[in-house]
Amino acid sequence: MTKISDDSFVLVYRDRRRRWLVRPRDTPKLHTHLGILDVSALVGQDYGVTATTTMGDELTILEPTIEDLVMKLARKTQVIYPKDLGLMVVKLGIRSGSRIIETGTGSGATTALMAHLVRPTGMVCTYDLNPEFQAVAKKNIERLGLSQYVTFKIADSRLGFDEKDFDAGVLDVGDPWEVVHSMREALKPSAPMAAVTPTTNQAEKLVAKMREEGFVAVESMEILLRHLEARVGMTRPSNIMVGHTAYLTFGRSTLGLPRPS
């Protein structure tokens, strides 16, 4: 059974909306509206214990999952939601040993998830034009102990990638159609690619460019998530749901020559 150490991440859980991700060495005392929790006193205890705040409120101490870690990262950009990331991981076939090319590092949330999955022999190569974004992403990746699985590059991916023969690719930029050619050249034949766009107009231009570049199995979709309020005798769908977050577009690279526009 894993014991909590001074360097361990712990998820302090009250309910779905009230949760805090901390480490004893960084946050020995957690100040909340429910009172102060002595996080340092958790060292040596097992995950799953209940801890009491100074106001007598009971909080559960959980071992964080990769979802908890990713969603609590420091961010300067909007991150991709877990409901979208889950499908992306499945469609891209990401596994231990995969080599992934990503453009649009942002705050590094997607990068972190992929690095977590490709360990210990895979790697993620991520490009961004904004040094400020990548500085935040590097700190996030380092904080999670995943730095050795990620290569950061400040460069314009529209001009091409330095590396080749990747197993999968991720596009998360404002003009993804401008990077499709570079992505096709960087991917292995048959390799899957996923792109994230906030608007239908972007998805439309992206799909047209992917088909022009010889991608097949091209499809776009949107994932909607609604929780169920499950209570004995009163179960109903939640009034609040995570609606539109992004349009996801997928495709597979081929050896076929790009079609003329």
- 136 and 161, same domain (yes or no): yes
State the helix-helix crossing angle for 109-118 and 131-143, rounded to 10 degrees: 40
Question: Quick check: 129 and 72 in contact, CB under 8 A?
Answer: no
Do 139 and 26 share a structural domain? no
Residue 85, domain extent: 68-252
Dig out the tokens for 227 from the structure: 């929780």
Give the rounded percent of residues in the chain with a pLDDT score beyond 90: 79
Only one residue has tokens 């349009």, namely: 247
The confidence score (pLDDT) of residue 74 equals 65
Report the distance separating Cα 138 and Cα 134, nearest Å. Answer: 6
What is this structure's pTM?
0.86
38 Cβ partners below 8 Å, 6+ apart? 28, 29, 51
Q: What is the pLDDT of residue 191?
A: 97
Domain containing residue 27: CATH number:
3.10.330.20
**59, 124: one domain:** no
**pLDDT at 257 (0 to 100):** 62
The answer to whether residue 2 is domain-embedded is no
60 and 77 fall within a common domain: no
User: Same structural domain for residues 123 and 43?
Assistant: no
Do 72 and 47 fall within a single domain? no
The verdict on 25 and 142 lying in the same domain is: no
pLDDT of residue 261: 44
Work out how many domains the chain is built from and give that number. 2
Q: Distance between CA atoms of 157 and 171, rounded to whole angstroms?
A: 10
pLDDT tens digits along 150-196: 999 999 999 999 999 999 999 999 999 999 999 999 999 999 999 99
Helices (H), the chain: 66-71, 82-92, 109-118, 131-143, 180-186, 200-212
- For the ranges 33-37, 67-71, 122-126, the one whose mean pLDDT is highest: 122-126
Do the domain assignments include residue 259?
A: no
102 is written with which tokens? 């990503």
